[in-house]
């Protein structure tokens, strides 16, 4: 059931993401979010500041302890002048994941956040 919810969230984000837009504009919006907002500064401690992945640890709710994971960031243009930033934590060889979709305005402020995943 959770994998269906995750797949649905990914489909929604893909449908909202538009083609075009400047990658530098997307990066500026991501940097504004990570540096200018309290929420963004908290996320900046765990996730890459550019699209890509880094090793990290997460609390696995099934195991009840911290486990090795991968923390990833992706960003693309969404409808209008919005940017959708996807933060994903995955572990257990990718079989478990949590993903957050942040819909940002050009100034880096958060318009909305959606969460999906099997990771509790």
Residue-wise pLDDT for 12-58, tens only, equals: 344 334 434 468 999 999 999 999 999 999 999 999 999 999 999 99
pTM score of the predicted model: 0.78
In the chain, the percentage of residues whose pLDDT exceeds 90 is: 68
- Chain-wide mean pLDDT for the chain? 84
Helices (H), the chain: 2-16, 23-36, 38-44
Q: Give the chain's domain count.
A: 1
Alpha-carbon span 99 to 9, nearest angstrom: 9
The closest alpha carbon to 79, from 17, 28, 6, belongs to: 17
The side-by-side arrangement of strands in the sheet containing 96-104 is: 52-60, 65-77, 83-91, 96-104, 110-117
Instruction: Quote the domain boundaries for residue 39.
Output: 2-117
Residue 8 scores a pLDDT above 70: no
Residue 115 scores a pLDDT above 50: yes
């Amino acid at each position: 059931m959770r994998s269906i919810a995750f797949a649905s969230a990914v489909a929604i984000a893909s449908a909202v993401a538009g083609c075009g837009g400047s990658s530098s504009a997307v990066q500026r919006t991501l940097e504004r979010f990570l540096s200018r907002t309290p929420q963004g500064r908290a996320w900046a401690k765990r996730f890459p500041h550019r699209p890509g992945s880094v090793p990290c640890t997460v609390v696995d709710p099934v195991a009840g302890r911290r486990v090795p994971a991968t923390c990833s960031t992706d960003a693309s243009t969404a409808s209008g002048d919005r940017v959708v930033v996807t933060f994903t934590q995955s572990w257990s060889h990718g079989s478990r994941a949590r993903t957050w979709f942040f819909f940002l305005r050009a100034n880096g402020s958060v318009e909305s956040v959606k969460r999906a995943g099997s990771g509790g």
